[in-house]
Amino acid sequence: MSGRATGAKPPLFSVVTPVFNPPLDALDAAITSVVEQTFRRWELILVDDRSTDPEVLELLRRRAAEEPRIKVVERETNGHIVAASNDGIEAAVGEFIVLLDHDDLLTPDALKRNAQLIREHDDVDYLYSDEDKVDDTGRHYDLFRKPSWSPERLRGQMYTGHLSVIRTSVVRAIGGFREGYDGSQDHDLILRVGEVARRVVHIPEVLYHWRVVPGSAAGDSNAKPYATIAGRNAVQDHLDRIGIRAEVTHGPVPGIYHVSRHLDPDVSVSLIIPTRGTEGMVWGRRRVFVVDAVRSLLAATDQEHVEVVVVYDTSTPPHVLDALRDVAGDDLTLVRFTEPFNYSRKMNLGVLHSRGSHLVLLNDDLEALSHGWLEQLVAPLFEPGVGMTGAALYFANGTIQHAGHAYARKNYKHPFIMEPRGALGPFGALALNREASGVTAACAAISREVFMEIGGFCEALPLNFNDVDLSCKIRRSGRRIVWLCNVELYHFESQSRARSVAAWEKDLTVARWGMPRGQDELLPQWWEGTRRVASDAKRERRRATRAGVRQGAGRRR
């Protein structure tokens, strides 16, 4: 199926809004935001959940009398948001369900933009847009530029949120909203939609204004503590349904969840580590980097079948190799490298000498922070569509060295570099497992099968950009790359070699893959934030310059 539908009839949207005692002005504005849509094929289904304020129902009836496309469903008992929403879905006649809360606002072109995307793709089952918040003074803030469809991030956060537009037949096929998930009923629904949807489309435009009113989750994430419990249960149910062996726990703030996976103990893993046996000082202690790295990595995993493949230069001191034999014992495979330095060639050679079904690519200057790092890093590779995983890496001072790559705006970036460990990042991006443009090969996992299929590392890139190239090959193959926030290691970067990048290395990467353009589709909020920070810094420089000119003029007088 091509997914193109240029001649399709415009869809009919059923906007479903459960209503219970909202502020009357906010409810009236929400209804008006539908009535004033530039796209005219819609119906608005307002389900009154037995509001105790009689003026609510009076307002609904009045607006329905004014507009024949508005339907009012009057419930005889208060059933809460799940029951009321399901009544709206049952009454819908449109091809797509549009979810609108009773105190929020659609932008005038919200339905038009969805209709355009549906016209382009006849197989789309779910669409979601960017959003912001609006307070009672009309001020807009908390603009959320969302990533493209990110199944891993959805397990950690209901990031798709508003505006959500779902094919009606899909909603009904999965049973609509489920009782017992009040407060996170939308998260539970979209997890189930994502399991069956043929195509999911992100519209990178603000089509929804989330109004902040007293007691709403928009203004206070702690306003509905039961919602976070329901959300955790929804994610756990999802993982159980699709066969991922894992436990879900609450993250650092409400609405964020952590997934801890289980790896079959019979899986064989080969750690591929290049080295020249360098020594250096870290935290006031002298260390042989590769020896201390291997000791730390093995101590922090319970996996039974772990092979350590060390590809060493001829200049590596013999005592380093002896120490490695003491640490890794019979699980050690030493591969001598006699050619001029070429990181990519060394890694490919290490893979050829390895035996594991899965490979963990590592630098020699690491130290594990999280126990079970290897299990968490490798386990996602057994899930459909995942081609490679990466870890959270920190400099010796505890600031971020790596939180996934971002390829965009004519550059290849390490987002959030030098942010402190424990920082949440924009909308929790640093506290969530999520898809990424790429990951560093300083700590990455990939199956042997996929590594061989894509041809391993490009040996024409001996020093830099080889992990960018590897990541591009993974994504070109149609697979996802997942960055894991709960796999944490120190990376004592530049301790073993001077860090420099030659222009030709980037030029070769661009020649192979093209220039990264636009925003990074998987981490757009970071680009927005860096642009804002850069703009603020530029304004500060201008102010300082102007102030200096004024002060200088005064002195001259």
Task: Give the tens place of pLDDT for each residue, 474-516.
Answer: 999 999 999 999 999 999 986 444 567 889 999 999 999 999 9
268-522, what's its fold?
Spore Coat Polysaccharide Biosynthesis Protein SpsA; Chain A (3.90.550)
Q: Where are the beta strands (DSSP E) in 448-552?
A: 480-491
Of the ranges 209-218, 329-338, 503-512, which one carries the lowest mean pLDDT score? 209-218
What does the alpha-carbon distance between residue 316 and residue 234 come to, in Å, rounded to a whole number? 52
Q: Residues 391-408: what's their mean pLDDT?
A: 96
Q: Three-state SS for 36? A: coil
Q: Residues 536-556: what's their mean pLDDT?
A: 38
Domain at 13-251: CATH code: 3.90.550.10
Question: Are the CB atoms for 468 and 486 separated by under 8 Å?
Answer: no
The pLDDT value given to residue 4: 57
The pLDDT value given to residue 218: 53
Q: Residues 329-356: what's their mean pLDDT?
A: 97
Picking from 91, 88, 103, the residue whose alpha carbon sits closest to that of residue 56 is: 103
Q: Residues 259-275: what's their mean pLDDT?
A: 98
Q: Where are the domains of the chain?
A: 13-251, 268-522, 523-557
Q: Residues 258-275: what's their mean pLDDT?
A: 98
Q: Residues 440-448: what's their mean pLDDT?
A: 98
The tokens for 33 are 């935001």
pLDDT band at 437 (very low <50, low <70, confident <90, very high): very high
Task: Give the tens place of pLDDT for each residue, 65-92.
Answer: 999 999 999 999 999 999 999 999 999 9
What does the alpha-carbon distance between residue 344 and residue 103 come to, in Å, rounded to a whole number? 56
Task: Give the tens place of pLDDT for each residue, 39-69.
Answer: 999 999 999 999 999 999 999 999 999 999 9
* Residue 465: DSSP 8-state: S
List of residues 6+ apart from 104 with CB closer than 8 A:
30, 162, 208, 209, 210, 211
pTM here is 0.91
For helices 466-476 and 343-352, angle between their N-to-C axes, nearest 10 degrees: 60
What does the alpha-carbon distance between residue 31 and residue 100 come to, in Å, rounded to a whole number? 10
